[in-house]
Structure 1
């Protein structure tokens, strides 16, 4: 990840994605680049080739909004990618020598615990900071201390959980790209991108596409080991005044099989929480305990006579 010339790196990556024929140009002859040449992009944007070269090399740091919009149009960027381009071109704010610790506001943490659907909070680097019992039951990687980005690419269990793994991975990388625009020189972000680029071919491919994701809602298709197939919707809500922390909530369509499966998962999670709490109490007192019944056993018992 180029932290010293993020604007130039982004322009190069997006230039590689645009074919000449997509913008009305004739490819013609042998080309050394997969997408547009620098001079072609400059012509389409109505700027000089020399000025564009300086932008891409990091020697023209702060282009005007009009030039950025012209480049966005030539590169066929959508609204999210255009906003990211403008963000990268802004003057950098002097960074604090020590990064601020990410903390979930107490009221939000309480809300997450009481929410009846799977809910968790993650920060700028997609570190899970808070999660309720149902979210932890949905995936062990939603536990505080885990990193959603690292787990979805490196944990084989996540690959099995997400039936739409390719779409899910594209979504999280797009979200990371959007977050990176606020501070592309962030050393921890650069380290995370570097680690995943080395360890995951899929991440490296997606990061090279330079696609930006700003969607606050979407769907997930999961195969849960305890309750089976789940079709879920998820919403991402930015927590005001919390330095980019986001609250993620999963929910289902009422009356569907997924709603029933999620309700069963909630019962299982509650049972496991009770067993864990009882086990701690017994360990303190040194007394044995009776097992808590598993809600899945009720259906099995009712089917025998």
Structure 2
């Protein structure tokens, strides 16, 4: 049985071409990428120890070993942060079979007031599982007729992977799917993440499970939306971490004048106000 840490190291090793590190190409192999022996030599650890890490038989590497692996794999700062996070959570295994206590769904009054001040802008409060906990009328206008808010407890991750309309609404669906799968690793708790992933996998299929274990740190560029009304929107995202609540306040800003004009038209058509979903 593997581990999140081992899966990430193996995925990054498989993605590296030996020639990019000045290493010889040993010809056809059963698996792509860098040989385990080459990575172990670059990190200054034994092949046996690297094997145990990748297979999940060793779950508590030291900080120097983690840093050496990051250097050997050539990780950029976001990938290094993810490696450290996976090292932290891998040390305490948990079961995905029993549903843990659900994450907090209530949004504190001051946060709702902040959201109200953003009206009629486009903003929502969410968590890393993708639950939409509160939103402005501007957010409702942007997502109108897409199905995203149709559920009693809307969830962006579930919508992306299970609703066919999402593949049309999100012009860069592949990138959005990468983001949503990656964010599950940063869920309110490891137990929440594992339970949610286990529940979603049977209905979401390989598009979800492949991304979940690939540990690809997404770049998070502008969000491109193809609204059913015919408007094409390009939105910048600013995320404010509400760390004490394990929630995020996400504000969507127009990336160009055309989007700003389209948002104004969508808001004029939509009637509604701030909504908290509990």
Q: Under a length normalisation based on structure 1, what TM-score does the superposition of the two structures give?
A: 0.75
State the alpha-carbon separation in 2 of the partners of residues 203 and 133 from structure 1. 30
* Structure 1 gaps, min length 5: 275-305
User: Comparing both chains, which one has the higher relative contact order based on Cα–Cα distances under 8 Å and sequence gaps of 6 or more?
Assistant: 2
Tell me by how many angstroms 1:79 deviates: 1.2
State the alpha-carbon separation in 1 of the partners of residues 53 and 77 from structure 2. 21
Tell me by how many angstroms 1:209 deviates: 2.8
Aligned counterpart, 2:226? 223
The equivalent position to 1:251 in structure 2, one of 250, 253, 263, is 253
Aligned counterpart, 1:191? 198
**How many aligned residue pairs are there?**
263
1:110 aligns with 2:113: yes
| Kept after mapping to 2: 8 A contact 1:227/1:264 | no
User: Deviations 1:204-227 (Å, cap 9, x if unpaired)?
Assistant: 4433432124x6x64112221226
Aligned counterpart, 2:169? 161
SS state at 1:209 partner: coil
State the alpha-carbon separation in 1 of the partners of residues 270 and 194 from structure 2. 38
| Structure of greater Rg | 1
Tell me by how many angstroms 1:135 deviates: 0.7
Deviating more after overlay: 23-32 vs 64-73:
23-32
User: Deviations 1:173-210 (Å, cap 9, x if unpaired)?
Assistant: 33334x159627843233145336xx344334433432
State the alpha-carbon separation in 2 of the partners of residues 253 and 166 from structure 1. 20
State the alpha-carbon separation in 2 of the partners of residues 245 and 72 from structure 1. 29
User: Deviations 1:60-100 (Å, cap 9, x if unpaired)?
Assistant: 32212111111112222221221121122224399996344
Q: 1:48 to 1:194 in 2, by over 3 A?
A: same
| Kept after mapping to 2: 8 A contact 1:120/1:132 | yes
Q: 1:38 to 1:251 in 2, by over 3 A?
A: same
User: Deviations 1:132-185 (Å, cap 9, x if unpaired)?
Assistant: 2221121141567111012112222221112222222223333334x1596278
State the alpha-carbon separation in 2 of the partners of residues 170 and 46 from structure 1. 32
State the alpha-carbon separation in 2 of the partners of residues 134 and 239 from structure 1. 21
What is the RMSD computed on CA atoms of the aligned residues?
A: 2.9
Q: How does 1:16-165 map to 2 (within 5 A)?
A: 16-90=14-88, 91-92=91-92, 98-115=101-118, 116-139=120-143, 140-142=147-149, 145-165=153-173
Q: Under a length normalisation based on structure 2, what TM-score does the superposition of the two structures give?
A: 0.82
State the alpha-carbon separation in 2 of the partners of residues 128 and 200 from structure 1. 22
Q: 1:122 to 1:180 in 2, by over 3 A?
A: closer
State the alpha-carbon separation in 1 of the partners of residues 200 and 43 from structure 2. 30
